[in-house]
Amino acid sequence: MTHTDLRAAACTPSFDRRTARGVVRLSIPVAIVWLVLAANPRTAAAQLPSLVELSAQYAPPADLGSGQPTQVQISSAQLTLNVPIPLSRSRFLIPGIADHVDTVSYAPMPTDTARRTFHAPELSALFVQLLPHRWSLSVRAAGSLTGGFETVEPRTIRYTGLALVSRSASDRLNIGGGALVTGGFGKILPLPAVSVRWKPIDEVQIEMFVPAFASARYTAWNRIELGARVEVTGSAYTIRDDDTTARWPCKAQPTDDLTTSPNESMANPGACIDHATYTVGSAGLFTGVRLTSTIWLTAFGGFSFYRHAETLNRDGDVVPGGRQDLPRALFVRTSLTWRLPGS
């Protein structure tokens, strides 16, 4: 055996020990969270999010209903990671990272405009304080780049803030109220927030968070879930090409194109696209199966009864022809989730 072999053999046990110590260190926070959940199952579990969630959604192409035979198809995917950090037995800090992707495809369209993908990476932090007499306080702040990293300005960063005070009236009922604020592109939208989590019997759970979703689920044999859900989601993306400022209507052109009705020799800032929003209301049924003690595979399918898109200028006004009510569509979403116990 050479000297190199001896050195490699000597380093291998040390590497294994370091790896084992790293695994132990990483498992300690999760173990502490687990113990707190065991001590306060209803109060704590109602406040803490899932550790990991990966989801993908597909909706078939739908006719836009315009004069031309154009179809639009929108698919989405999202990955969310949360890391609970116990500050004490009654206090948690949960930093998180997520990326939401929407892919929009048109047919038939020119190749360079037939497909476009929008990313919304997000960083978040959730602080949870468990209080006496089954009260708790949750404060969450999040910021998201709207459209990706190619254009980063303070006004294009979407942000949300949530403050919620909750109380577990019993082991089966948790009620909370507070305020939710969303903002970006120079606009701020404050909304009331109400949360309800009720288990009338062990197998049934009704959960609601206004203004986002409401769901009811039945769990059989502690392994299979069946339920219904209604939700409202929204996204906003920066839409700018690298040479946008060199083109009409954002910038006046040297000469007017006489074959078109607009006067391209004069800029029209009101028609210059800055960003777009997309709002969806959906309802459907879901089913899930427990793969391990805390990992679930679920499928949610139904009907998007409301789909509305707007293209806006820098002042937040809709550009001419920029308001579009998309047709209703069927959809299916699959998710793989690592949940905390008791959730």
Report yes or no: 309 and 327 within 8 Å, Cβ to Cβ: no
Q: What is the mean pLDDT of residues 233-248?
A: 72
Determine the Cα–Cα distance for residues 36 and 51; give it in Å rounded to an integer.
16
- Residue 275, pLDDT score: 85
Assess contact for 145 and 153: CB atoms under 8 A. no
Region 135-156: mean pLDDT is: 80
Q: Cβ contacts of residue 189 below 8 Å, gap of 6+?
A: 181, 182, 183
269 within 8 A of 307, measured Cβ to Cβ: no
Tell which wins on pLDDT, 273 or 161: 161
Cα separation, 13 vs 275, in Å, equals: 55
Is the pLDDT score of 13 beyond 50? Answer: no
Contact between 328 and 302 under an 8 Å Cβ cutoff? The reply is: no
* Tens-place pLDDT, residues 277-311: 889 999 999 999 999 988 999 999 999 999 988 88
> Residue 6, by phi and psi: left (phi above 0), alpha (psi -120 to 50) or beta?
alpha
Going from the C-alpha of 76 to that of each of 59, 179, 281, the distances in angstroms are: 9, 28, 14
Q: How far is CA 161 from CA 193, 253, 274, in A?
A: 11, 43, 24
Model confidence at 125: pLDDT above 70: yes
Amino acid code (one letter) for 89? R
All structural domains of the chain, each given as residue ranges with its CATH number in brackets, are 40-239+274-338 (2.40.160)
Contacts of 29 (CB under 8 A, 6+ apart): 83, 84, 85, 86
Distance of CA 46 to the CA centre of its chain: 19
What is the pairing mode between strands 318-325 and 115-130? unpaired
Enumerate residues 6+ apart whose C-beta is below 8 A from 150: none
Q: Choose among 233, 231, 212, 235: nearest CA to 117.
A: 235
Residue 255 has pLDDT above 90, yes or no: no
Q: Which amino acid is at 127?
A: F
Angle at 319 between CA 315 and CA 325, to 5 degrees: 120
> Per-residue pLDDT tens for 37-93?
444 444 445 557 888 999 999 988 877 665 555 777 889 999 999 988 888 888 889
Q: Say how far apart CA 94 and CA 271 lie, in whole Å.
A: 42
As given in the structure block, the two tokens for residue 316 are 């937040």
Q: Are 143 and 157 in contact (CB under 8 A)?
A: yes
Cα pseudo-dihedral 93, 144, 294, 132, rounded to 10: 30
| Full DSSP string of 117-128 | EEEEEEEEEEEE
Mean predicted lDDT score pLDDT of the chain? 80
Answer for the pair 332, 303: CB distance below 8 angstroms, yes or no.
Answer: no
Residue/partner pairs of 246-252 with CB below 8 Å, 24 or more apart: none
Asked if 233 and 213 count as a contact pair (C-beta separation under 8 A), the reply is no
| Mean pLDDT score, 246-269 | 71
Residue 114 pLDDT exceeds 70: no
pLDDT score recorded for residue 66: 56
